[in-house]
Structure 1
């Protein structure tokens, strides 16, 4: 049933405590400045650079390195070196980030079950230890021989019978073990990430209304800057001929994973010694769940969840042929791709800093509209110019869309600002994790939709290599559909309030709906199971041909 019961704000709860206990007025007076400035919890505005908090920046720095490098190796290692199809590499991209959909479950554990009295730091240590071990194992593994014995054969439109006999046709299947280890490594980083989010929420909610979001934005600036390290390791380390580059030597996939292992190892002591945390008692899971579910039933919360899922689902629809197009038509080298990504991270970090400096009070609706439309307009020129051979150049393919990283970064961060306004004390990690997990869940779901849409077109590697009018038309249709879906994602903006004050008002007076809360939980569970199954099916030869996995049928 729906309810219009008014929920007290932090200031109202504080006033009630004073009325009930006048002797507490001295303690309350110490907090009055925070209340007047609109802080969501007491403690005063924190400094992220203090000794007690700087370890949080180390967490997000390590996350940036690990995430960027694991994501970046897919193109040179799996598309170029092992010659996997576009459908398979699209699935790998999603499987790597799939652990992010578990953030809600991990958040519940960290909220409810402290270790040695601490809810966050032990989980950070365990997460980075898992990531370190997996990366170390990969650093000691050999991924096998490349698909082409001679890298120059990749540029040939046809091969002789003798050349075809020398191809390593098992190469596309040899990356499965690596993919699984990469998933486990990212799972470890997500465990640390989720615990870090709990600390981040606690610090951010101590900030005054006008500056709330400063700490949150700063950690993402650091994360974007350190993504440069992971991207550079791939771009310069995997730039030999076998990986589609021009260098004579390479550090190989093992070298990239060794770098990840180093950063994971550094994050372990930083998790314990450079982050301050008060001891907490274990929470009763039944009482915790009732409180957590009650929060989900608030209109402000379930509207935010619905907005983030459906907006992201349509905004993230892509094209499965993007990697083959980049490799065959744009002839992008791994180093060029990495340099462009590095520049893109600088652009994104700059955008976030500008948002922190001037944009904390901007209208969220207009920011997202301008960012979404602007990114599409910027991206379509190099895309269609490359497809129809008007102008093909790897820097044109990668360089112009760099400008779209600016609106993309701003569009992302404003949706996280809204999340801070609805989280309650005691379930910080679970709530932050749930909303971000549902948002992330939109990614594999969007990929499944993408693969099913693109299954209606011939976007195979062999077709793109022909560079025929038919091939160009097929790719064009796929990109037009993608842009239309991204524009359609703006329809769901009506679910998002315009700013923090409106979000607080909706939380306090928007009412509740238990039925909607139950429906959201059931649908989220279904989408999670379905997305995991279909994406796992798409990377195994026996099931990748199924239409549900994006194939053409077995």
Structure 2
């Protein structure tokens, strides 16, 4: 173990030659803000790592924030394009839209693997910057490939059919329907998923840097860097959503504007915007070369030892099981949005912007005022409050008391409060648990566990929802039976979210309790094996089930959620 610690510490130091010629006490080196620069802090202030804390608005910080700005922008564009294109343009089934939404997020389930690669396989002596460059190059190439793809005719040949009852369609309008359009969804979703893999690689490397910087902060300030980067990421998600709102709201997308961008044009513009990040990643960020190339075998052995610690497997269990229950949502949401409240892509994206700004404010306020909150208490209070308001507004829409698109679109805004707080708590826990030399993999494991819960939970929700009359044709029919079944699925969703609170005892109350658990929790080989087993099953299940949902030959299998009964 002593040799292993020396090996890990060596990776964080300057090169051997530099160490010989540089005096750490020499003031000429005082302003070198690098993740690996030796520094003599007062470790009594609660810092977890030696080194100078990152100065916000420094060139290096701007380079780091640029990574999250790019990731956030794409996080607004790629998932945001699903509603106007798949729902409005192609008229896809609700289960297909859910699967598409999941698939563009599923790369984050593989975050740990990219973290291991980043930690273990330096490129030209660097563990972070080269992977950022590779990620952005790959992402931009995929965006340009999508810009060259052909797009079929829309499902509705006459855009006015979006707002006309089916029984009032003319013969010409019926003849204009492109019945094959919904089957084209997979053609676009898979490349979007690949683009997500590209900017995921960038975020993994950036996250590892953030952990290193955050651990330098004294305990009363720790969380400042994390709050800044995720506030930037969320703010630029709002910018991406604004692009969707203004340029994907044409009549062909069930919108209200007379102008719009095509899918190809949007991808081309997005690729051009993201291309400069390749240069930013290399020239604005500082990173010291790794002296000793880490041994993959030794790394995995020590990482396996880490996984067996109670502090790790207990937090992973909380994140996974509470997250699966909390991610249990209705699959008819996009169809309700289009056919019951007639939400346009503009208004949908506008509320996404409002939501992301609210989310960013939540992150900022949590970082400023919530560093010492009791994590369990704040999660209970915010979730119960959000669900109470959500239930009131949702039932009004389902039973046609008030069917206003702003009313329906405003509901998810409330959920940003508990989600934002849960997210920041998750990042704080990661910093407390991270070990030198394993930042990328451990951060990847804990955040990937959180991200894995959504596709796994949604795949379970599809299986349950398939037992009710909540298919596309059912929502269009809008009968009392359909409203009853939608109500049942919504209350099942609420019950699942409340059940997620049952796992709160696994979450420490605060940072000090997390450190105590880390010191005294012990380890268990059996629990380590169990943890790896259920995570492996969940990631394989979620990936396969949602991919199979995108293709006509497999989308009707029961494990994918099935298809609507033939009338």
Which interval holds the TM-score relative to the shorter structure?
over 0.9
Q: Is the aligned partner of 1:456 residue 2:467? A: yes
Aligned-partner SS, 2:276: helix
CA–CA distance in structure 2, aligned partners of residues 466 and 400 of structure 1: 23
Choose the corresponding residue for 1:544, options 529, 538, 555: 555
1:333-482 mapped onto 2 (5 Å cutoff)? 333-482=344-493
Aligned to 1:297: 308
Cα distance, 1:161 vs. partner? 5.7
Aligned-partner SS, 1:175: helix
Contact 2:135-2:202 within 8 A present in 1 as well:
yes
Q: Is the aligned partner of 1:157 residue 2:166? A: yes
Aligned to 1:268: 278
CA–CA distance in structure 2, aligned partners of residues 375 and 34 of structure 1: 42
Q: Is the aligned partner of 1:134 residue 2:142? A: yes
Of 40-49 and 357-366, more deviation after overlay is shown by: 40-49
Aligned-partner SS, 2:59: coil
Choose the corresponding residue for 2:513, options 502, 508, 514: 502
Tell me the TM-score normalized by structure 1.
0.93
Aligned to 1:144: 152
CA–CA distance in structure 1, aligned partners of residues 209 and 363 of structure 2: 20
Aligned to 2:70: 62
CA–CA distance in structure 1, aligned partners of residues 320 and 180 of structure 2: 38
CA–CA distance in structure 2, aligned partners of residues 282 and 507 of structure 1: 28
Aligned to 1:16: none
CA–CA distance in structure 2, aligned partners of residues 488 and 288 of structure 1: 37
Cα distance, 1:166 vs. partner? 2.7
Structure 1 439/404 Cα, relative in aligned 2: closer, same or farther at 3 Å?
closer
Aligned to 2:116: 108
- Unmatched 5+ residue regions in structure 2? 10-22, 26-37
1:87-102 mapped onto 2 (5 Å cutoff)? 87-102=95-110
CA–CA distance in structure 2, aligned partners of residues 424 and 323 of structure 1: 42
Cα distance, 1:399 vs. partner? 2.5
Residues 53-86 of structure 1, C-alpha deviations (whole Å, 9 max, x = no match): 3211000000001111111111110011001000
Q: Count residues in correspondence.
A: 532
Tell me the TM-score normalized by structure 2.
0.91
Q: Is the aligned partner of 1:182 residue 2:192? A: yes
Contact 1:104-1:437 within 8 A present in 2 as well:
yes
Q: Is the aligned partner of 1:78 residue 2:89? A: no
- Unmatched 5+ residue regions in structure 1? 14-25
Aligned to 1:20: none
Of 491-500 and 400-409, more deviation after overlay is shown by: 400-409
CA–CA distance in structure 2, aligned partners of residues 392 and 411 of structure 1: 31
Aligned-partner SS, 1:543: coil
Structure 1 27/116 Cα, relative in aligned 2: closer, same or farther at 3 Å?
closer
Residues 97-118 of structure 1, C-alpha deviations (whole Å, 9 max, x = no match): 1111111111111100100100
Residues 12-61 of structure 1, C-alpha deviations (whole Å, 9 max, x = no match): x9xxxxxxxxxxxx989x96644111111000222242112321100000
Cα distance, 1:135 vs. partner? 1.0
Contact 2:320-2:453 within 8 A present in 1 as well:
yes
Aligned-partner SS, 2:60: coil
Cα distance, 1:321 vs. partner? 0.2
Aligned to 1:527: 538
Residues 478-515 of structure 1, C-alpha deviations (whole Å, 9 max, x = no match): 10000110011010000010000000000001100111
Aligned-partner SS, 1:71: coil
Choose the corresponding residue for 2:230, options 220, 224, 230: 220
Contact 1:41-1:206 within 8 A present in 2 as well:
yes
Q: Is the aligned partner of 1:42 residue 2:53? A: no
Aligned-partner SS, 1:421: helix
Residues 165-215 of structure 1, C-alpha deviations (whole Å, 9 max, x = no match): 331111112232211110111110001111111111111111111111110
Aligned to 2:245: 235
Contact 2:40-2:51 within 8 A present in 1 as well:
no
Structure 1 401/544 Cα, relative in aligned 2: closer, same or farther at 3 Å?
closer
